[in-house]
């Protein structure tokens, strides 16, 4: 009989205590234990992102449908919106203009307080160009003192710049034209 060769294997199922395993062996052990949890976690994140994409696409489609349904209504109100915006703009412009100016009543009262007896105003033009108050007064005075009192009174009260534009003598009366601005 032929002799059979016996092969003996020694398998040590116990972990050796004093020997540190090599780095490669440690990586393999980690990959087989904690690494699989990491991979499962990453796959779960990918699946959630994939499913969230379907949900968000459905919401976007619903929103587009809602917008398309309301678009004719919005287009119908477009002319009204332009009119409302124009009105609001005009109101804000008027508010800004009015807030920076003197009122007509106030200006006329101050001018009336400065007119001496003997001076007759024939025309008075009050305007507000570019945030200034401009007045043009045409009238007659009996003498120079009355005219100078009017001119200096306008300079002191509300108008910083009052100038005598024209002056002439006609039948003993002084005809004059004064222009004054508040700047």
* Domains of the chain by start residue, with CATH: 104-181 (3.30.1360.100)
Task: State the pLDDT at residue 15.
Answer: 66
Q: Could you give the CA distance from residue 129 to residue 144 in angstroms, rounded to a whole number?
A: 31
Per-position DSSP letters for 119-165, written without gaps between them: EEEEEEEEE--TT--EEEEEEEESSHHHHHHHHHHHHHHT-SEEEEE
Of the candidates 134, 137, 83, the one whose C-alpha atom is nearest the C-alpha of residue 114 is 137
Sequence-separated contacts (24+) of 37-46 with Cβ below 8 Å: none
Task: State the pLDDT at residue 2.
Answer: 63
Task: State the pLDDT at residue 16.
Answer: 64
Tens-of-pLDDT digits for all 183 residues of the chain?
A: 566 777 887 777 776 666 676 888 888 887 788 878 888 899 999 999 999 999 999 999 999 999 999 999 888 888 888 899 999 988 888 777 666 666 677 778 888 888 888 899 999 888 877 667 788 999 999 888 888 888 888 888 677 788 889 999 888 889 999 998 876
Task: State the pLDDT at residue 56.
Answer: 94
Task: State the pLDDT at residue 42.
Answer: 92
Task: State the pLDDT at residue 51.
Answer: 93
Q: Could you give the CA distance from residue 22 to residue 155 in angstroms, rounded to a whole number?
A: 102
Task: State the pLDDT at residue 135.
Answer: 86
The SS3 assignment for 50 reads helix
């Amino acid at each position: 009989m032929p002799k059979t060769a016996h092969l003996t294997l020694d398998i040590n199922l116990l972990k050796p205590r004093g020997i540190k395993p090599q780095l490669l062996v440690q990586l393999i052990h980690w990959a087989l234990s904690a690494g699989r949890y990491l991979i499962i976690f990453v796959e779960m994140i990918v699946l959630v992102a994939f499913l969230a994409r379907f949900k968000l696409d459905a919401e976007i489609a619903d929103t587009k449908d809602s917008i398309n349904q309301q678009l004719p209504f919005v287009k119908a109100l477009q002319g009204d919106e332009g009119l409302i915006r124009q009105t609001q703009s005009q109101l804000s412009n008027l508010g800004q203009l009015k807030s920076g100016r003197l009122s007509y009543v106030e200006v006329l009262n101050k001018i009336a307080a400065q007119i001496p007896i003997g001076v007759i105003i024939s025309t008075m033009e009050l305007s507000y160009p570019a945030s200034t108050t401009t007045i043009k007064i045409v009238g007659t005075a009996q003498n120079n003192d009355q005219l100078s009192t009017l001119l200096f009174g306008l300079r002191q009260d509300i108008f910083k710049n009052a100038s005598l534009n024209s002056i002439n003598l006609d039948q003993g009366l002084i005809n004059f034209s004064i222009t004054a601005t508040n700047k």
